[in-house]
Amino acid sequence: MTENNTISIEKIVKNFGNKRQRLMDIVREVQNLYGHISNESAHRIADALGIPFVEVIDMVSFYSFLTRTPRGSSVVRLSTCVVDKMHGMDKVAEAFEKEVGVPFGSTSSDGEITLEYTPCIGMCDQVPAILVNHRVMTNVTPADVPGIVKALRKGESLGTQDEDTTRPDAQIDMNLRNPGPVIFAPMDHGAALREALNMTPEEVIDTMTKSRLRGRGGAGFPTGMKWNFCRKAKGTDHYVICNADEGEPGTFKDRVILTETPDLVFEGMTIAGYALGAHEGLFYLRAEYQYLYSYLQQVLARRRHLGLLGRNIGGKEGFDFDIRIQLGAGAYICGEESSLIESLEGKRGAPRDRPPFPVTKGYMDQPSSVNNVETYCCAARILEKGADWFAKLGTKDSTGTKLFSVSGDCAKPGVYELEFGISISDLLRKVGAEDAQAVQVGGPSGNCIAPKDFGRRLCFEDLSTGGSVIVFGPQRDMLEVVREFTEFFIEESCGWCVPCRVGTTLLLKKLDKVLEGRGTKYELAELEDLGNTVKTTSRCGLGQTAANPILTTLKNFRHLYDAKIKDEDYIPIFRWDTALADGKAIAGREPVWEGEEL
């Protein structure tokens, strides 16, 4: 590293105010400059921030978009979501490997191109999809691959969206199939905020409570209650946090909101700022959506110009509020709110113990309200149109509309804004998938529903979802899908607690035994037992739902498992050679049995 590089790193750290909590931005910028975070860079960053070197390495090694070793000038990340696989991802992978000349997980010998797999990138309605550095390409076919690789080698444009601010969606279809009255109705910028500023902060929160709005991130926590807890919590600052991590496979509705109506989200966050007495909003954007970053910055700049962000907003003396966008770096667990806060503080995204909850001790240990993108949109519309208007939509316990991102085996994949309470069969008719064999509601962590239950309704009282609805046609092997989902959780577990870290791997081993035709009823009972243990003893929502693919299919698709197992209760065979294989490989010798000479 040269003298200049050293100066650059220190300058980067200084540009972020020498603040420890900006480590994510610092590291991202250093990587942009040098391609990776070498030990030397990590030392420099640590010295400049006055923190231990291991804290930098700990953080860098956690995120898949950060790297300690050099990668190619172009990094091609192929989305491995189950929906990509259903639509030819494997063939695209083969084509890349042939064209680049190396397998996925490595870099071409000329150092130009790195091939990597990555979990769902939020483009399930137009798969297979890839990220080339931070640009998105969708509907990729094997025939496209030679042209892409050639262009990358020549350093030519791919003809995809620039990080051009005016058209972030140039090559990405919106597939907005059913715009509804809450999220996608035309917006009068500032109207909802004006309504809010005519009220006291307490009245704004009462309006949320009256609307019976529940969070759209999946768990459905009442927003009015969350804001009330947060407002009342004591702290030197309060924070409004928007969760735009959108990592659940099959979910892409926030992507469409952020492209079509980002002002509504920012307006909702500003209203929350007023209600909670906050001065700063933090918008956590997943790294996969980096192509939206400049566009969103431009929207924020426009709002500042219009006086909708900044000081004394709307002429309200003392109401100062602004929003900062924080880019993530590739980790599904960072969608969990306490991990997201850790990540915002520039740390690895490991979930926190709760209580205390973020509403009392969140970002920088201050009261913070974390809400989903769609929740903030609903909040703004409620202020504009009234709590009663909103509460008349949907069902008793699930008021309003919901965005469903529908993908898989259907004629019209895309985003549908529909009132809560719609049945699965009605939704399947709308999306052109009447022959579905199964519907995965809520992504891998949700529920796999069989046709006998297609009369069930999408709402918090029955089947809830953060947005993901994946349809599987009659041709799909559902147990293979279960396997994919279980692998996804193994990959994404943060590794902190044993039930999740070890339990998910054990689940996969047992599942494989069944899939290979070596299982009996005993293995099915064990799968259920172990699945419930992982569910009840894991530390956070990831582990608590990681067994759902197995548990819900054991319940709703039992016949598929029964067809795989042997008609015996238990096969009491223990294979020494298999059980000891790993140990022998590590020790590099054969086992010595009792009584044997060493």
Ligand X SMILES: Cc1cc2nc3c(=O)[nH]c(=O)nc-3n(C[C@H](O)[C@H](O)[C@H](O)COP(=O)(O)O)c2cc1C
Phi, then psi, of 288 in degrees rounded to 5:
-65, -20
Whole-number Å distance between alpha carbons of 491 and 119 = 9
Q: Do 403 and 424 form a contact (C-beta atoms < 8 A)?
A: no
Answer for which of 539, 550, 556, 564 binds ligand SF4 (CB under 6 A) is 539
Both structure tokens of 428:
């399947």
CB of 432 to ligand X, least distance (A): 27
> Residue 335, interface with ligand X (CB under 6 A)?
yes
By CB under 6 A, residue 366 contacts ligand SF4:
no
**Binding segment (CB under 6 A) for ligand SF4, from list 358-366, 399-407, 538-546, 579-587:** 538-546
What lies within 8 Å, CB to CB, of 353 at 6+ separation is 539
User: Does 217 help bind ligand X (rule: CB under 6 A)?
Assistant: yes
Q: Tell me: does residue 77 bind ligand SF4 (CB under 6 A).
A: no
* Using rule CB under 6 A, residue 336 touches ligand X: yes
218 or 543: CB nearest ligand SF4: 543
From ligand X, ligand SF4, none, which one binds at residue 316 (CB under 5 to 8 Å depending on kind)? Answer: none
Residue 243 in contact with ligand X, rule: CB under 6 A: yes
The distance of closest approach from Cβ of residue 243 to ligand X in the complex, given in angstroms and rounded to an integer, is: 4
Q: How many CB atoms lie within 10 A of CB 509?
A: 8
The answer to whether 500 contacts ligand SF4 (rule: CB under 6 A) is yes
Sign of CA dihedral 334, 544, 61, 21: positive
Residue 227 vs 321, nearer CB to ligand X = 227
- Is residue 531 part of the contact set for ligand SF4 (CB under 6 A)? no
Q: What is the CA radius of gyration of the chain?
A: 25
Count the Cβ atoms, other than its own, within 10 Å of residue 188. Answer: 10
Long-range contacts of 490-494 (CB under 8 A, 24+ apart): 491/119, 492/119, 492/331, 492/332, 492/333, 492/542, 493/333, 493/542, 493/543, 493/546, 494/62, 494/331, 494/333, 494/339, 494/348, 494/349, 494/350, 494/351, 494/542
375 binds, among ligand X, ligand SF4, none (CB under 5 to 8 A by kind): ligand X
Q: Which x/- pattern, by CB under 6 A, does the window 288-327 give for ligand X?
A: ----------------------------------------
Identify which of residues 152 and 333 has a Cβ nearer to ligand X in the complex: 333
- Between CA 292 and CA 300 the distance in angstroms is 12
The strands making up 176-178's β-sheet, listed across from edge to edge, are 176-178, 414-419, 401-408, 468-472, 438-441, 447-449
Out of ligand X, ligand SF4, none, which partner does residue 501 contact, by CB within 5 to 8 A per kind?
ligand SF4
Query: Of 543, 60, 119, 540, which is closest to residue 343 (Cα–Cα)?
Result: 60
Q: Choose, by CB under 6 A, the member of 59, 333, 439, 524 that binds ligand SF4.
A: 333
For residue 567, give both structure tokens.
């008609």
218 part of the interface to ligand X, by CB under 6 A: yes
Quick check: 247 binds ligand X (CB under 6 A)?
yes
Minimum gap (Å) between residue 540 Cβ and ligand X: 6
Report how far residue 34's alpha carbon sits from residue 29's, in angstroms, rounded to the nearest whole number. Answer: 9
Q: Say which entry of ligand X, ligand SF4, none residue 495 contacts (CB below 5 to 8 A, set by partner kind).
A: ligand SF4
Q: Which residues bind ligand SF4 (CB under 6 A)?
A: 333, 351, 493-497, 500-501, 538-540, 542-543
Q: Which residues bind ligand X (CB under 6 A)?
A: 215-219, 221, 243, 245-248, 333, 335-337, 370-372, 375, 540-542
